């Protein structure tokens, strides 16, 4: 059985890249290939011009020191307090106790848990546990941070706070972050780029704004449209999807269009998103049966600099 096939992906230094797909798509296998915990049967994984397949065990361990990782279930050592959890990787690397303590103190300030130094995991909330896990992953000064479903076990409010922390870490420390998730909202909140994995293959990738505005594949459309069932009738109707950016979303484009074109449209689907700090909205409209009038509406919207995509087929 092939878990991944034909994956060709570049992640630039300092970026936040989201790898998204449904359960079983191959996301976690892909992230384990990045740090070579899973060795691909074919192909290459190259980090800072080093082909991991050509390295011996000692060289591979050195590369992995530059790769931190956080998980859905935190993976903290229950018998160690917060400080000792953060110090654990440093102890393995041979750092003395005083230096470990200083590093732990510095990282606890960074993740907002300076007062939890001597607490144990059982005394922490889920969000606090993940902050400790992030601090531990940063202890060895990695250049890359891999996050495998790191917010899936958290409530929405805590998820936003963890994503905000990751974004702050990216800006302050310049660390490249790779986020594995099945939630498009996570990608929209924090990522610069997104790679969509479906059935073990990379089906689409690019800037988050571009993929949101112009999804090309069935997998991307399902994520962008959130599998909305109310638009199922589009298969037999002439419909368009329009995308509003941060500027046009504040203008009454639809109301003005109805007045200008003297035609009504049926709104089948609408939502708004915050993509990396910018307001975006989308609507799926059912156009009038009169093709000349429908064309007039499309021309009007494009003239107003609104992204318009005619939906010839919607994948349910």
Q: In terms of Cα–Cα distance, which of 110, 81, 84 is closest to 97? A: 84
* Phi, then psi, of 240 in degrees rounded to 5: -130, 155
pLDDT range class, residue 247, cuts 50, 70, 90 = low
CATH of the domain at 297: 3.30.70.260
3-state secondary structure of 280: strand
* Phi, then psi, of 47 in degrees rounded to 5: -125, 120
Q: Tens of pLDDT along 259-294?
A: 888 888 888 888 777 777 777 778 888 888 888 888
User: In which order are the strands placed within the sheet that holds 307-311?
Assistant: 266-275, 278-286, 239-244, 307-311
- Tell me what the mean pLDDT of segment 201-227 comes to: 83
CA distance 178 to 48: 15
Q: Tell me the average pLDDT of the chain.
A: 84
CA distance 34 to 176: 13
Answer yes or no: do 96 and 126 share one domain.
yes
CATH of the domain at 85: 3.40.50.300
What is the pLDDT, as a whole number, of residue 226?
Answer: 61
What is the pLDDT, as a whole number, of residue 289?
Answer: 84
Burial (Cβ within 10 Å: 0-12, 13-18, ≥19) of residue 87: buried
Question: Is the Cα dihedral 189, 193, 194, 200 positive or negative?
Answer: negative
Answer yes or no: do 199 and 239 share one domain.
no
User: Where among 166, 194, 215 does a domain terminate?
Assistant: 215
User: In which order are the strands placed within the sheet that holds 176-181?
Assistant: 67-71, 144-148, 176-181, 16-20, 193-198, 201-207
Domain membership flag for residue 260: yes
Answer yes or no: do 239 and 115 share one domain.
no
Total domains, the chain: 2
* Share above pLDDT 90 across residues of the chain, in percent, rounded to a whole number: 28
Domain membership flag for residue 221: no
Answer yes or no: do 43 and 166 share one domain.
yes
User: Where among 189, 215, 241 does a domain terminate?
Assistant: 215
pTM over cut 0.75: yes
User: Where among 187, 215, 243 does a domain terminate?
Assistant: 215
Burial (Cβ within 10 Å: 0-12, 13-18, ≥19) of residue 51: exposed
Least confident of 46-50, 99-103, 219-223: 219-223
Domain membership flag for residue 6: no
More confident residue, 150 or 236: 150
Answer yes or no: do 137 and 242 share one domain.
no
User: For residue 175, is pLDDT > 90?
Assistant: yes
CA atoms within 13 A on the CB side of 89: 22
User: For residue 249, is pLDDT > 80?
Assistant: no
3-state secondary structure of 257: helix
Domain membership flag for residue 37: yes
What is the pLDDT, as a whole number, of residue 58?
Answer: 87
- Tell me what the mean pLDDT of segment 72-89 comes to: 90
- Per the structure, the complete domain to which residue 147 belongs is given by 16-215
Domain membership flag for residue 223: no
CA distance 89 to 84: 9
- Angle, vertex CA 244, rays to CA 282 and CA 169, nearest 5: 90
* CA 88 vs CA 77, 134, 177, 194: distances in Å: 9, 13, 22, 33
CA distance 2 to 140: 34
Answer yes or no: do 50 and 171 share one domain.
yes
- Tell me what the mean pLDDT of segment 242-271 comes to: 77
- Tell me what the mean pLDDT of segment 144-163 comes to: 88
Least confident of 17-26, 120-129, 245-254: 245-254
User: For residue 248, is pLDDT > 70?
Assistant: no
More confident residue, 206 or 244: 206
């Amino acid at each position: 059985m092939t878990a991944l096939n034909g994956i060709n992906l570049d992640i630039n230094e300092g970026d936040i890249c989201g790898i998204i797909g449904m359960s079983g798509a191959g996301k976690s296998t892909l992230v384990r290939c990045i740090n070579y915990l899973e060795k691909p049967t074919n192909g290459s994984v190259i980090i800072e011009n080093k082909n991991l397949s050509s390295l011996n065990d000692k060289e591979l361990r050195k590369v992995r020191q530059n790769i931190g990782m956080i998980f859905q279930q935190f993976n903290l050592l229950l018998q160690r307090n917060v400080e000792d959890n953060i110090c654990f990787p440093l102890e393995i690397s041979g750092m003395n106790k005083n230096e470990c303590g200083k590093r732990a103190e510095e990282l606890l300030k960074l993740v907002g848990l300076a007062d939890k130094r001597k607490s144990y995991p059982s005394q922490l909330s889920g969000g606090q546990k993940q902050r400790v896990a992030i601090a531990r992953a940063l202890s060895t000064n990695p250049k890359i941070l891999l996050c495998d479903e790191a917010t899936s076990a958290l409530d929405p409010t805590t998820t936003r706070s963890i994503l905000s922390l990751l974004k702050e870490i990216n800006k302050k420390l310049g660390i490249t972050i790779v986020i594995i998730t099945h939630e498009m909202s996570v990608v929209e909140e924090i990522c610069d780029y997104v790679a969509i994995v479906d059935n073990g293959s990379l089906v689409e990738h690019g800037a988050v704004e571009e993929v949101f505005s112009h999804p090309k594949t069935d997998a991307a459309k399902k994520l962008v449209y959130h599998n909305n069932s109310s638009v199922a009738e589009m298969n037999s109707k002439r419909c368009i999807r329009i995308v509003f950016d941060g500027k046009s979303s504040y203008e009454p484009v639809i109301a003005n269009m109805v007045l200008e074109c003297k035609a009504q449209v049926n709104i089948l689907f609408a939502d708004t998103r915050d993509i990396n700090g910018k307001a975006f909205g989308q609507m799926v409209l059912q156009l009038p049966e009169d093709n000349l009038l429908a064309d007039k509406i499309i021309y009007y919207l494009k003239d107003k600099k609104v992204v318009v995509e005619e939906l010839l087929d919607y994948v349910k």
